[in-house]
Amino acid sequence: MKKESLYRNSVILSIKTNSIKMLTKRIIPCLDIKDGRTVKGTNFVDLRDAGDPVELAAMYAEQGADELVFLDITATNEKRKTLAALVDRIAHRINIPFTVGGGISSVDDVRVLLDHGADKISVNTSAFKNPDLINNLASEFGSQCVVLAIDTKQHDDGEWYVYLNGGRLATPTTCLDWAKEGVLRGAGEILLTSMDHDGTKQGFAKEITGLVSRNVSVPVIASGGGGKAEHFAEILHGYADAALAASIFHFREVDIPDLKTYLDKQGIPVRKNI
Amino acid sequence: MKIVMIKYNAGNVQSLKYALERIGITPVISDEPGEILSADKIIFPGVGEASSAMKYLKEKGLDEIIQQVSQPFLGICLGMQLMCSHSEENDTPCLGIFPEKVKLFKSTDSSQKIPQIGWNNIRDLKSDLFKNISDNSYSYFVHSYFADLGSDTIATSDYCGAYSSALHKQNFYGVQFHPEKSASVGESILKNFINL
């Protein structure tokens, strides 16, 4: 009993004196991959080449990126083999967690990627078309490695709807309904991309990100629209657990160490002094 | 030096293997008792669910082997939780190396997501495992269950309250976070374990 009350006191003390010691918000650069090279489009078109993914990833890890996402948009028969080889190279080199996504549609696909060193995988269209995939992945590998990626767009009725196939195909399902169902089925994180904001550099989609975040028990990663440090501060201040961006990092419009210094000044917990 | 990583049904062993390779260690991955007992150091990784992992360990007789080892032994994440006395995850009796119990996080407000995913501080560090690691360094965590604070606690973190982010008793060590994914801090901790 004595010991327990001692611990309770130490908890209270630590809350008072170490209120900033806590889980930090994550900054996640995303690398779009095609045929083993990094690309990034604006609103999903106009691809540009931004270099070797492994070199870029290593640079981000050294700069203090908290995680990385690799999204493979290769659509050839060789895809599985080249992606597995790339994942292997990344895993050998990188000492922070990384997620791999893009066209993953089966338990076997995922097993190959995890066996080559991926920490998490993300599923999007395939999970929407076959929701049991989420259950199967969660029971086979655990929820911690299943990220449900959702592309969403707001319609004139004010609702946000799920889009498939890289944003080319609309569905009648709302983003919130699908996010909730995905979590019930075992998704461990939601990666939410607002197509309305993606590529605009005008800020993240606060409204829908916050709505999803308040209604699911798992972390939500905001994606689409981050253009400057202020945007990250806005979305991480109560709307999302992590924020993802691509080209602004690739083209050094936003520098990760500067971004973290800024967020820290804004009172947002981030991992610094690594 | 022979480092054996215990192979069982709960573990994404590849990232740990690569992390060890980055610090110059080529681990042996095995579930053979002879191989495990002949190691200089043993690592017990783990990502998955407690009851199915315990069931598998028992079927393979690995539960008794683990309790017997006298070499430095490091459990990671679920590995550490399985070294505790009991887990609330499917009400599972565990290996009982550490008397601490494993409980489910209970969030106190809706912004505290479960699982905890991300980088959190480790503090009140007291073990050679944390040699040259400063208090409040960041480590990467992914977990829904946590070990209580207790007499074996050698690192503390806070999420829905304070909990044990590392445990130590005799030759047995456990860390809740993933050193293999915790950047340079994690690499130093793995090196410290190798050099124990």
Do the chains contact at A95 and B183, CB–CB below 8 Å? yes
CA–CA distance, A161 with A210 (Å, rounded to integer): 15
**Closest residue of chain B to A28, computed from CA coordinates:** B118
A6 belongs to a structural domain: no
Do the chains contact at A26 and B183, CB–CB below 8 Å? no
Chain A environment of B141 (Cβ under 8 Å): 23
A68 belongs to a structural domain: yes
Do the chains contact at A219 and B185, CB–CB below 8 Å? no
Tell me which residue range forms the domain holding A87. Answer: 25-265
Do the chains contact at A142 and B22, CB–CB below 8 Å? no
A9 belongs to a structural domain: no
pLDDT value at A45 more than 70: no
**Closest residue of chain B to A97, computed from CA coordinates:** B181
* Nearest-10 Cα torsion for B160, B164, B165, B168: 180
CA–CA distance, B156 with B152 (Å, rounded to integer): 11
Q: How many domains does chain A have?
A: 1
Do the chains contact at B115 and A14, CB–CB below 8 Å? no
Query: Which residues does B130 contact at the CB level (< 8 Å), separation at least 6?
Result: B122, B154, B155, B166, B189, B192
Chain A environment of B117 (Cβ under 8 Å): 144, 188-189, 219, 241
Q: Residue A37: pLDDT band by 50, 70, 90 thresholds?
A: confident
pLDDT of residue A8: 43
CA–CA distance, A113 with B15 (Å, rounded to integer): 11
pLDDT of residue A40: 59
What is the sign of the dihedral through the CA atoms of A127, A130, A132 and A136?
negative
CA–CA distance, A192 with A197 (Å, rounded to integer): 11
Q: List, in sequence order, every residue forming a beta bridge with B92; answer none if it has no partner.
A: B87
Closest CB from B18, B111, B186 relative to A117? B18
Do the chains contact at B140 and A97, CB–CB below 8 Å? yes
Shortest Cα distance, chain B CAs vs residue A33, angstroms? 21
Q: Give the active site residue among A66, A72, A151, A198.
A: A151
A19 belongs to a structural domain: no
Shortest Cα distance, chain B CAs vs residue A47, angstroms? 31
Do the chains contact at A61 and B183, CB–CB below 8 Å? yes
Distances (CA, A) of A98 to A117, B45, B80, B104: 9, 18, 23, 25
Segment A97-154, tens digit of pLDDT:
999 999 899 999 999 999 999 999 999 999 999 999 999 999 888 888 999 999 999 9
Do the chains contact at B183 and A274, CB–CB below 8 Å? yes
A115 close to B (CB below 8 A): yes
Shortest Cα distance, chain A CAs vs residue B106, angstroms? 11
A134 close to B (CB below 8 A): no
pLDDT of residue B40: 98
Q: Among residues 146-175 of chain A, which lie with CB inside 8 Å of chain B?
A: none
- Report the candidate in A171, A170, A169, A189 with the shortest Cα–Cα distance to residue A179: A189
> How much is the ipTM here?
0.92
Higher model confidence: residue B84 or residue A40?
B84
Interface with A, mutate which of B9, B76, B138 (most A CBs under 10 A): B138
Chain A environment of B111 (Cβ under 8 Å): 238
Q: Residue A7: pLDDT band by 50, 70, 90 thresholds?
A: very low
pLDDT of residue A41: 44
The pLDDT profile of chain B, 196 residues, written as one tens digit per residue, is 999 999 887 766 889 999 999 999 999 999 999 999 999 999 999 887 899 899 999 999 999 999 999 999 999 999 999 999 999 999 999 999 999 999 999 988 777 899 999 999 999 999 999 999 999 999 999 999 999 999 999 999 999 999 999 999 999 999 999 999 999 999 999 999 999 9
Do the chains contact at A115 and B14, CB–CB below 8 Å? yes
Interface with A, mutate which of B7, B9, B12 (most A CBs under 10 A): B12
A79 belongs to a structural domain: yes
A8 belongs to a structural domain: no
A121 close to B (CB below 8 A): no
CA–CA distance, A39 with A156 (Å, rounded to integer): 31
A5 belongs to a structural domain: no
- CATH homologous superfamily of B3-194 equals Class I glutamine amidotransferase (GATase) domain (3.40.50.880)
**Closest residue of chain B to A242, computed from CA coordinates:** B118
A138 belongs to a structural domain: yes
- CATH number reported for the structural domain that contains residue A46 in this entry: 3.20.20.70
Q: What is the DSSP string of B44-102?
A: E---S-HHHHHHHHHHTTHHHHHHH--S-EEEETHHHHHTSSEETTTTEE---SS--EE
At which residue do the structure tokens 């809740």 appear? B176
Q: List, in sequence order, every residue forming a beta bridge with A189; answer none if it has no partner.
A: A147
Instruction: Quickly count: other Cβ atoms within 10 Å of residue A50's Cβ.
Output: 18
Closest CB from A117, A141, A144 relative to B15? A117
CA–CA distance, A253 with B151 (Å, rounded to integer): 49
Segment A130-142, tens digit of pLDDT:
999 999 999 888 8
Single-letter amino acid, residue A178: W
